[in-house]
Amino acid sequence: MASYDLVIIGTGPGGYVCAIRAAQLGLKVAVVEKNPTLGGTCLNVGCMPSKALLHASELFEEAGHSFAKMGIGVSAPKLDMAAMMNFKQQGIDGNVKGVEYLMKKNKIDVLAGKGKIVGTGKLEVTGQDGKTQSVEAKSIVIATGSDIARLKGIEIDEKRIVSSTGALSLDKVPGKLIVVGAGVIGLELGSVWRRLGAQVTVVEFLDRILPGMDGEICKQFQRILEKQGFAFKLGAKVTAIDSSGKQLKVSVEAAAGGNPETLEADVVLVAIGRVPYTEGLGLKEAGVALDERGRVVIDDHFATSLKGVYAIGDVVKGPMLAHKAEDEGVAVAEIIAGKAGHVNYDVIPGVVYTTPEVSSVGKTEEDLKNAGVDYTVGKFPFTANGRSKVNQTTDGFVKILADTKTDRVLGVHIIGREAGEMIHEAAVLMEFGGSAEDLARTCHAHPTRSEAIKEAALAVGKRAIHM
Ligand SMILES: Cc1cc2nc3c(=O)[nH]c(=O)nc-3n(C[C@H](O)[C@H](O)[C@H](O)COP(=O)(O)OP(=O)(O)OC[C@H]3O[C@@H](n4cnc5c(N)ncnc54)[C@H](O)[C@@H]3O)c2cc1C
């Protein structure tokens, strides 16, 4: 029987990163993966393919709308959907092969098949051919990720009624696209198809978009998306979809009930969130506890209720983000190897990869109000940032929330081009417990959009220079 120090079930960003770190620390490691390719949701049907389509569709829109004003004359861009999907697939293949290479480089065995825990230190792996192999491991990490959340009574066929997976592979641009859910995935994929020509309506149960993100940032973001052509129906829910005719008939009513109306659509994207995935793992029989939302329960050291079994990533509590899964993978590998692994959950950035981008780290204004923390706001708009002005990309602003007494930065929120890259100087500052004054006194290269962060930090002390 094959025997390892550590076996990880799942090769998403949590699992494969955990495997590499454990191998670096000298452990004999194997990963188990049921899919034909490594990399999990993120590489195959999540972060990476969505970013490929966001990049391609953004350039498609720019070529059609922005080039002329810069004096670049091009004829109207033509969409070659097959080529765009091929571009996306090449990106997926490159990344997936990269993970395969890293497994080989770090001498990590890949066990192809579905993993099941049969007790402390014992697993079974069942391959596509139905053959089962038994494996022993001193430690096991569950990194089985998440699956799409479904709407009751609505069947996803991945053709006309799609999840994010189907929305990444449509073969033509839908005339009318209804997105159910104004979260990150719905707005990103809605952006892709709007840029390529779809008329997009977003139906959201809550009365705001991007729940959990800073309210002021989201209000401005919604206005910008509306200017781009998005329509929003907030405080509303989809109750049924009639797919018998050529067009889908989508029943929408107020979140509290009443005021029903029927909207027509060519495609409906259900993007109401994701749920932890533990199917077939044998957790109940093995004695691994789940919480009321189906997540694997862990302690502060990622240990489950079964000795020697740990869990990380989307399958446990916390934000369902690839970098959170990766950091937990590193931390649990270090703990298993006898070191002090740790994740700082107060400093996990979040990014919406639309145009403009939205990024945030730390507390929102709503969080601080609810917690009764005395805070000071420093804001700086990109309309006053030189680089943004010359590039004519002035939508958005930087907002810094600092503790009024200590000046420590508690949260940073940015809406604007490249906000997803810019957020990390704030994350580093916050990781070191830095103040707005520290940020304001750090020399920033000119002309950059990052100068808006320095100016927002200056604005905390009411001394922004360019405003
Ligand atoms: C459209 C979309 C876009 C996204 N964009 C972003 C983004 O831009 N940034 C970001 O941070 N996050 C993004 N996410 C979220 C991100 O993909 C997840 O947070 C991340 O993949 C979680 O990693 P994980 O390792 O926990 O699990 P996963 O990536 O879900 O991997 C789990 C793996 O476990 C395997 N598995 C499950 N059960 C078994 C079993 N019993 N035996 C063997 N193998 C098993 C699965 O096949 C899978 O490969 C996006 C998600 C989607 C759907």
In this structure, the residue with its CA closest to atom 13 of ligand 1 is 47
Residue among 9, 45, 47 to mutate when testing ligand 1 (max atoms within 8 A of CB): 47
Please state the rounded mean pLDDT for residues 190-200: 98
**Span 331-351, pLDDT tens digits:** 999 999 999 999 999 999 999
Same domain, 129 and 176: no
Q: What is the pTM of this model?
A: 0.97
Q: Give pLDDT, residue 229.
A: 98
Please state the rounded mean pLDDT for residues 57-74: 94
Q: Is the CB of 381 under 6 A from ligand 1?
A: no
Same domain, 281 and 331: yes
Q: Is the CB of 33 under 6 A from ligand 1?
A: yes
The residues assigned a catalytic role are: 446
Domain end marker among 249, 272, 295: 272
> Does any domain span residue 116?
yes
Same domain, 7 and 79: yes
Same domain, 311 and 300: yes
Q: Is the CB of 329 under 6 A from ligand 1?
A: no
**Span 152-163, pLDDT tens digits:** 999 999 999 999
**CATH number reported for the structural domain that contains residue 283 in this entry:** 3.50.50.60
**CATH number reported for the structural domain that contains residue 401 in this entry:** 3.30.390.30
**Span 450-466, pLDDT tens digits:** 999 999 999 999 999 99
Please state the rounded mean pLDDT for residues 298-318: 98
Q: State what percent of residues in the chain have pLDDT above 90.
A: 99
Q: Indicate whether 62 pLDDT > 90.
A: yes
Q: Is the CB of 44 under 6 A from ligand 1?
A: no
Quick one: which of 415, 458, 452 has its CA closest to 436?
Answer: 458
Q: Is the CB of 34 under 6 A from ligand 1?
A: yes
Distance 145 CA to ligand 1 centre (A): 5
Quick one: which of 467, 338, 331 has its CA closest to 397?
Answer: 467
Q: Total structural domains in the chain?
A: 3
> Does any domain span residue 315?
yes
Q: Give pLDDT, residue 256.
A: 94
Domain end marker among 298, 313, 336: 336
> Does any domain span residue 154?
no
Please state the rounded mean pLDDT for residues 183-208: 98
Same domain, 289 and 259: no
Nearest ligand 1 atom to alpha carbon 114: 42
Average pLDDT, the chain: 97
Q: Give pLDDT, residue 259.
A: 85
Contacts of 158 (CB under 8 A, 6+ apart): 165, 166
Domain end marker among 228, 257, 272: 272
Same domain, 142 and 113: yes
For 21-27, which contacts have Cβ atoms below 8 Å and span 24 or more sequence positions? 21/329, 21/330, 21/333, 21/334, 22/333, 22/336, 22/337, 23/106, 23/107, 23/108, 24/106, 25/333, 25/334, 25/337, 25/339, 26/337, 27/333, 27/336, 27/337
Number of other CB atoms surrounding residue 231 within 10 Å? 13
> Does any domain span residue 342?
no
Distance 40 CA to ligand 1 centre (A): 5
Same domain, 197 and 110: no
In this structure, the residue with its CA closest to atom 5 of ligand 1 is 47
> Does any domain span residue 155?
no
Q: Give pLDDT, residue 244.
A: 96
Same domain, 18 and 60: yes
> Does any domain span residue 83?
yes
Distance 220 CA to ligand 1 centre (A): 30
Q: Give pLDDT, residue 1.
A: 87
Find the domain containing 175 and state its range: 161-272
